[in-house]
Chain A
Amino acid sequence: MATVDSVPNCRLDQMILREGMEVVMQGVWPSPGFDLFRCAGLIPRKRLRGGFEHPTWIPDQSVFWHPWERMLAFAAGGAKPPKAAEGSVPEGNRIHADIVIIGGGSVGVAEARAAAETMSVSVVLVTQGTLSETLPKNVIVYPLHRVFALYNGGRLVAAAPIDPREPALLIDADHVVLATGARSTPPVVRGAALPGVLDAGLAMQLALDHGVAAGARVAVIGTSRRHDVTEQLETMGVHVVGSFDVAAVASIQGRGHVTGIETGDRSVPCDAVVHAGPWRPDPSLPFQASWSGELRLTAGEVPDNVRVAGWASEAPEPVSFGARDQPDAHAFVCPCMDVTVEEVLTLVARGTVHVEEIKRLTGCGMGPCQGVPCWDLLAAVVGWATGKPTGTVGHPTYRPPRAALTFGQAAGLIDATEVAP
């Protein structure tokens, strides 16, 4: 994470370098070269349950508490708040479409073509990438946009461009097709949160769009559906040292960055690991289209106006614990909030088995990724520890925005929305 051109919390691995870019590293103090925050690594893991904000680390209400809180706020905040800038509230748009297709992969494109065959139908396709092929004229494409919510039972699609200077978009949709594909879920093994571990989607994007290999020696791990990824990476010139079944991976090795993987009875040196499976669809948008409840929001049947297509409609592959028959205590469930398997197991052993309670006690899933994929890992670990089938453990609520949008983009939607009476 870094502050880029005075905008905080930018992921450097997802930004294209530009001439004159001003980059300030975050999460280091006082400087990247001499970083006192690294001392936190010396603290035993057990003392960090619940993070620095929970009672092990906060003095009881006393004179020490307030200075400690200020210090926490400074450290946790990470980056300076941005300064006001001109034009940071782009005025949003609201349009209508008979069919909205979310996802610009092969399934999304095929769905758009099929829908556009009826010439009188208005079709909109929203994709976070760009399309290389031309679609029929009655398909309006919004590239580089992320759908951040399905409101009102899926009848209102909300999207925001990745570029925060561009306006957000609301689409009243008669029908929605979710062609959001499936994404690879990291295994619950130690080392899976090290820098150098990438999901297949990101590795392919780096290679395809930017001609950058994930590493000099890349190990691919995954389910039986990993081979396409391996082949494609090799075709694009990435040096793949091996393709391994994730169920045989005992750990990912390294300190500070990946140096190898331990699989079967051997250790394979590499400097990057690409995980390609287990593949699981992103649960957020179907959840929002079907949620109900007052005591707790739960997913129901996706309503008739929403259809899930392609990979997104297939059953998720089970979360992998690697070569172990139980989750590795030292593996992360949620790397953003430093939640380990050990911490979750400790809570379960004390009787806290509700995923919403675990979320509130640990902060699991409350970082920038908002629970994707870590709530799947959480459900798998809780399911294992309680002996319940994973599907019955449930997830915390997948709230909007699925992808972050700026206050400016949100504020720009004021004239496009009405307060329901």
Chain B
Amino acid sequence: MSATESANIVIVGGGIQGLLLAFNLADRGQKDIVVLDAGYWQGGASGRNGTLVRGGFSSTEWTRFFEHSVDQWRGLSRRLGHNVMYTRRGYAIVAESERSSAVLDTALQTHRECGVSSERLSRPRMAQVLPAADQTRIVDMIHLADGGTAPHHAAMKGALTACRKKGVDLRYGTEVTDFERQNGRISAVVCGDTRIDADLVVIAAGAHSADLATKAGVVLDAQPFRIEAMASEPVRPMIGPAVALIDRLTYVHQTARGEIVGGSELAGESAKRNIISTEYVMPRYARHMVDMFPGIARMRILRQWGGMLHPAPDGGPLLGAHPDLESLWFSAGWTYGIAGAPGAADLLAKAIVTGEIDERMRPFAVDRFRRGKPVMEASAVIDNASVG
């Protein structure tokens, strides 16, 4: 070992989770925070996602947690001193079957209980909210007024700038090769020739989190899962809100520069770990889009790309300390990472600094599967059969 350094907190992963957590910890007065990332800035899921933000789901656990995150999104630009371009353009959850409509029944009930602003749309309102859609296919629709999008380039730039201002030590292109343990607790992070002694380590490394957990000698219940997204050529505003077509496992929105960006998860595809584009996702996403927005058939697809999620068996995040190794924390298992990042960062920072586990975070504890307590959620655009 050629160099030994020390830090108060080491965060492994410089994506939206790691950066916002570092910012929140620094904002709560923590010093000597180091963020390590094996890749480049925005190289992981934080630079590849669909940028959709919503608070309302069908389970109370998800809704309470993500609604808190939406609250955080609203004030984030001011806190970071940089416009993260979060836009409350609304979020439409579209059902095309009676079965999905029943999911929306449950969701509405949950939204009411949790105080989420949501509206079940009448036929004329549906046509107003999604005029480009084939109205005959829509059975039911919920509109979440506070949902919207947060473009990752702006959100990540805001997070990066704010971390730098707070004196967080950010190191991209720095791979963690090992962890050291002492007396049942994690004691250091090793990056090649450098060892960083740390009081506390947080792994927030997206799809690489489970591998890192293995290196630290613990098990994390989640697996890398590749999905693909696509962007169209730019046109004038055609799709107003963020849209989830839950029967089609498809999500889409139109960016401020006019591109229509979205993707489809394919039911039955098994977990894969790579970010390579395939021939079979694009036709299926295109078919869903042409069915729902017929005019798009004559528009062009400019690029397709892949990225990795890291779903836990129930699709929810894995937040908090690991029960088997003291001082090792996680912000992992993300599928709705961009939506949940500010909320998770806020609650995790609070837990790390004060020791108090917030009720909204508690259901997503890292050891919930071993305790037989998964959190079931039906309105997420995730194929539970393929992630579970």
- Seen from chain A, the residues whose Cβ lies within 8 Å of a Cβ on chain B are 6-9, 53-55, 58-61, 65-66, 69-70, 72-74, 76-85, 88-89, 92, 149, 151-152, 156, 158, 164, 170, 288, 291-297, 354, 356-357, 360-361, 366, 368, 370, 397, 399-401, 404-408, 410-414, 416-421
Contact B304 A401 (CB under 8 A): yes
B235 within 8 A of A: yes
Interface residues contributed by chain B, number (CB under 8 Å): 73
Report whether A399 and B283 are in contact in the complex, using a CB–CB cutoff of 8 Å: no
User: Is the Cβ of A152 less than 8 Å from the Cβ of B279?
Assistant: yes
Q: In the bound complex, how far is the Cα of B282 from the Cα of A170, in angstroms? A: 13
Contacts of A152 in B (CB 8 A): 278-279
| B298 pairs with A88, CB closer than 8 A | yes
Name the segment of B62-70, B78-86, B364-372 touching the other chain: B78-86
B83 close to A65 (CB less than 8 A): yes
- Contact of B109 with A by CB under 8 A: no
- Give 1 or 0 for each of B39-62: 1 = CB within 8 Å of chain A CB: 111111001000000000000000
Q: Which residues of B contact A (CB under 8 A)?
A: 38-44, 47, 74, 76-78, 82-88, 132, 153-154, 156-157, 172-173, 207-208, 232-238, 254-258, 266, 268-270, 273-280, 282-287, 289-290, 294-305, 308
User: Would A76 and B298 count as touching, CB distance under 8 A?
Assistant: no
Q: Contacts A151-B279, A295-B39, A356-B40 hold; do A73 and B237 have CB atoms under 8 A apart?
A: yes
Q: Is B290 a contact partner of A89 (Cβ separation < 8 A)?
A: yes
Determine whether the beta carbon of B236 is less than 8 Å from that of A79.
yes
By a CB distance below 8 angstroms, the chain A residues around B274 are 293-294
Cβ-neighbour of B237 out of A77, A368, A404 (below 8 A): A77
Q: Which residues of A contact B299 (CB under 8 A)?
A: 8, 81-82, 406-407
A84 and B297 form a contact (CB under 8 A): yes
Which B residues touch A288, using CB under 8 A?
277
Interface majority SS (helix, strand, loop, mixed), chain A: loop
Chain B contacts for A294, CB-based, 8 A: 207-208, 273-275, 308
A361-B290 CB under 8 A given contacts A58-B83, A404-B302: no
**Residue on B with the closest CB to A362?**
B153
User: Taking the nearest CB of chain B, how far is it from the CB of A294, in angstroms?
Assistant: 6
Partner of B287, one of A7, A361, A411: A411
Name A361's contact: one of B157, B256, B284, B301 (CB within 8 Å). Answer: B157
Q: Is the CB of B86 within 8 A of A414?
A: no
Given contacts A88-B297, A297-B275, A408-B298, contact A81 B238 (CB under 8 A): yes
Which residues does chain B contribute within 8 Å of A6, judged by CB atoms? 298
A233 to B275, CA, bound (A): 44
In the complex, what residues of B have CB within 8 A of residue A418's CB?
280
Minimum CB–CB distance for B220 against chain A, Å: 17
Quick check: B287 and A73 within 8 Å, CB to CB?
no
Pair B280/A407 contact, Cβ less than 8 Å: no
Which of B85, B282, B286, B289 is most buried by chain A, counting CB atoms within 10 A of its CB?
Answer: B282
Q: Are A421 and B298 in contact (CB under 8 A)?
A: no
Chain A residues within an 8 Å CB radius of B255? 73
What's the nearest-Cβ distance from chain B to residue A213, in Å? 30
Using known A-B contacts A60-B77, A73-B257, A158-B279, determine if residue A296 contacts B40 with beta carbons closer than 8 Å: yes
Complex contact B269–A85 (CB within 8 A): no
A274 to B39, CA, bound (A): 40
Contact across chains for B280 and A78 when beta carbons are under 8 A apart:
no
- Contact at A419–B269, with CB atoms within 8 Å? yes
Q: With A61-B78, A78-B236, A420-B269 in contact, do A401 and B303 touch (Cβ < 8 Å)?
A: yes
Pair B270/A421 contact, Cβ less than 8 Å: yes
Complex A-B: 8 CB contacts under 8 Å = A69-B87, A77-B258, A88-B298, A354-B41, A354-B172, A356-B42, A399-B305, A420-B278
